[in-house]
Structure 1
Amino acid sequence: MLHDREIRIRLSNIQIAVSQAAQALSAERHLTGELRETIQKLDRRSDDISEMLASEDYANVPQLVDDMEVLGARARRVCASERMQVTPEMKAVVNHMHRELMEFKQHLH
């Protein structure tokens, strides 16, 4: 079981990674559709992290991380698809975000 301190650090790292993906997305004006929608969903779920950190109630962390990891995997698949024209920077931030989510998920289970 992870200690509260480690949970807070990992949740903060996820928030930063999601924020970086959202910033990269806003710089990519031509992107629409699935990638934009998925990152926006992740950004909204990141707000749930803020609430958890403020309340120090970590009971729902595993479910939240599972949900976010599924969205992160979806964003990663979209970035990797041949039909999608994304910059290397966008791919890098999405991959980093997904890696943060996967690693935390593995530590939780």
Structure 2
Amino acid sequence: MLQASEIQKRFTHLEQTIGKASQACHADTTLPKDLMDCVNQLDKQSATATKIAKSKDENRIRQWVDDLEQVGGRAEKACQGATNVDAKVKTAVTAVHAELSDLKKQLH
């Protein structure tokens, strides 16, 4: 398990990455609903990152990351399946999923 300070740093970076993806997606009104739903769910869940990190409950932290990684995977799949998605949106969504996947691997 990562040290508490490292988890907090990773969660802060993750919040920023999700925020960038959310901004990119909300700027494009033509995105499919399933992609927007995933991004909105990521955005909503990322708001609890600080609380989760401070809990220092390893199982809770792992579960939170696992859940977000699944949503990130669905967002990436929806992005890949959609037509005419802006490169900025694709890059942002892929970055979120990559960050979550990496964090998940480090926590397990």
Aligned to 2:27: 27
Runs of 4+ in structure 1 off by over 2 angstroms are 50-53
The aligned runs of 1:1-109 (5 Å cut-off) are 1-53=1-53, 56-59=54-57, 60-81=60-81, 83-109=82-108
CA contact (8 A) 2:11 2:49 kept: yes
DSSP 3-state at the match of 2:31: coil
Q: What CA distance in whole angstroms lies between the structure 1 residues aligned with 2:50 and 2:25? A: 21
Percent identity between matched residues is 30
Q: What CA distance in whole angstroms lies between the structure 1 residues aligned with 2:83 and 2:44? A: 23
Q: What CA distance in whole angstroms lies between the structure 2 residues aligned with 1:90 and 1:15? A: 16
CA contact (8 A) 2:2 2:107 kept: yes
TM-score where L is the length of structure 1:
0.91
TM-score where L is the length of structure 2:
0.92
Opposite residue 44 of structure 1, the aligned amino acid is: K
CA contact (8 A) 2:39 2:75 kept: yes
Q: What CA distance in whole angstroms lies between the structure 1 residues aligned with 2:101 and 2:83? A: 23
Report how far residue 89 of structure 1 moved: 0.5
Structure 2 unaligned segments of length 5 or more: list them: none
DSSP 3-state at the match of 2:55: coil
Report how far residue 58 of structure 1 moved: 2.8
CA deviation vs aligned residue, 1:16-67 (integer Å, no higher than 9, x gap):
11101110011101224100000000111011113234xx113111000000
